[in-house]
Structure 1
Amino acid sequence: MTKAERALETRERILTAACEVIADIGFENVSMRKVAEHAGVSKALLHYHFDTREKLFAEAMTHSFAQTGTDTEGVPDSVPSSVVLARILRSMLPTDSELRQDWKLWQELWVRAQRDTAARHLAVDLYDQLHAWVGGAVERGIRSGEFADCDVTALGTLVLALCDGLGIRLMLDDPRVDLAAARSTIWRAIAPTLGIAPEFPDV
């Protein structure tokens, strides 16, 4: 392994550890020492890669987002656009333990964004990427004739709003909303616009 590869591996290990610690105890309770211990590196090495908690938090959010996101580029044409969109929706809800951790980080970001300009810009940038993922799947379906022509931006805004609202209910373990109900609610809301069946695809 080259020096550059070792540095990249260390950086990835630190970011993974930061995601886990922030999700577990919240950003306000996180210290660089705790992250270093969890990552199995020295505090000096951690500071070499990330000189402040704020930079570490921003990088950790971006890292977590990239790991759980679903891109629409490079998907084989044989995969229906409805399946691609359903996969994106799956990644945008707290579907499993990894995505629940991602959601905890999002919740931390929402809180910080209320009083920190850098965090607010980061949140907006990440939402732009979510819009691009949803919009890419919808545009793909429109081009193939699978979806009806529609206002892609408006539909993306609706999808993100529904995912946020229902995702919070799922994170709260609200007994009135389970994962199947959340998916079904979102799909039924967008199906008429897309001109597709209201049943959530089997993905």
Structure 2
Amino acid sequence: MKDSTKRRDYGTGKEALLRATVHVVAAKGLRGMTFRAVAEEAGVNNTLIAHHFGTRDKLLAAALEWSGRQSIAAADLSEYASDSDSYIQALLENILTTRSSEIFQYEMILEATRRPELQPAVQALYRRYVAALVPGLAPAGLVTDSSLGRAVFAALDGLMLQYLSAAITAEELIDALRSLRAVLPSGPR
């Protein structure tokens, strides 16, 4: 059983359950995510989960939406427009502080390939990420349309997956991000 200090960190209500869901899935995978495991992680009775979300799929979809909002809020993409080194540093800090959230999102993305009912939540996640990315890059004339924004996000997404799976080191991630910045079209400065 988790100690009460850890449980207090999750907060209260629905958000505590969403945060606990993200952590359980990141640690145990989707097969290990049960109402009981989430309730234990959050330090609540598992009947609260059914009360707030009804089904496992509704809980997962809500946790995916919540974790995406948290990740977007934590990353200040506007930094990229004026100072790519600051952006790279902010991105690394974001990855390190939201590791569970990022792993959870990849678990959900892969699960959606097998379960079409989860695809709308994953599609919405990617739309939100691209929508957050494009305005952050536009002031420097880097990316002004959603097609290129999707391509840039796909590169960032792939690099993050490689980093989280230990396929590349932090130094290799930094080098790749700098290379990506160097090849992006830029407008007048």
State the TM bucket, normalised to the shorter chain.
Answer: 0.7 to 0.9
1:114 counterpart SS class: helix
Determine if the alignment matches structure 1 residue 116 to structure 2 residue 115: yes
Q: Distance in 2 between matches of 1:117 and 1:67?
A: 24
**Kept after mapping to 2: 8 A contact 1:68/1:99:** yes
Provide Cα deviations, 1:70-120, integer angstroms capped at 9, x if missing partner: 4999x8xxx7833499649954x6854333212211211121111222311
Determine if the alignment matches structure 1 residue 36 to structure 2 residue 31: no
Q: Which residue of 1 aligns with 2:81?
A: 81
Q: Indicate which of 18, 21, 25 corresponds to 2:24.
A: 21
Provide TM-score, normalisation by structure 2: 0.78
Determine if the alignment matches structure 1 residue 183 to structure 2 residue 182: no
**Kept after mapping to 1: 8 A contact 2:23/2:104:** no
2:167 counterpart SS class: coil
Letter in 2 for 1:187: R
Provide Cα deviations, 1:38-59, integer angstroms capped at 9, x if missing partner: 1111111221112111111111
Provide Cα deviations, 1:158-177, integer angstroms capped at 9, x if missing partner: 21111122112111212466
Q: Indicate which of 45, 49, 53 corresponds to 1:46.
A: 49
2:141 counterpart SS class: coil
Cα 1:102–1:85, aligned 2, differ >3 Å: closer, same or farther? farther
CA deviation after TM superposition for structure 1 residue 186, in Å: 2.1
Residue correspondence of structure 1 range 112-191 to structure 2 within 5 A: 112-139=111-138, 141=139, 146-147=140-141, 152-175=145-168, 178-190=172-184
**Kept after mapping to 2: 8 A contact 1:131/1:160:** yes
Q: Distance in 2 between matches of 1:122 and 1:89?
A: 29
Larger Rg: 1
**Kept after mapping to 2: 8 A contact 1:85/1:137:** no
Q: Which residue of 1 aligns with 2:4?
A: none
Q: Distance in 2 between matches of 1:161 and 1:179?
A: 14
Provide Cα deviations, 1:139-178, integer angstroms capped at 9, x if missing partner: 3x1xxxx426x65223202211111221121112124663
Q: Please provide the CA RMSD for this pair.
A: 3.2
Q: Which residue of 1 aligns with 2:6?
A: none
**Kept after mapping to 1: 8 A contact 2:64/2:125:** no
**Kept after mapping to 1: 8 A contact 2:18/2:59:** yes
CA deviation after TM superposition for structure 1 residue 68, in Å: 1.6
2:98 counterpart SS class: helix
Cα 1:120–1:90, aligned 2, differ >3 Å: closer, same or farther? farther
Letter in 2 for 1:33: R
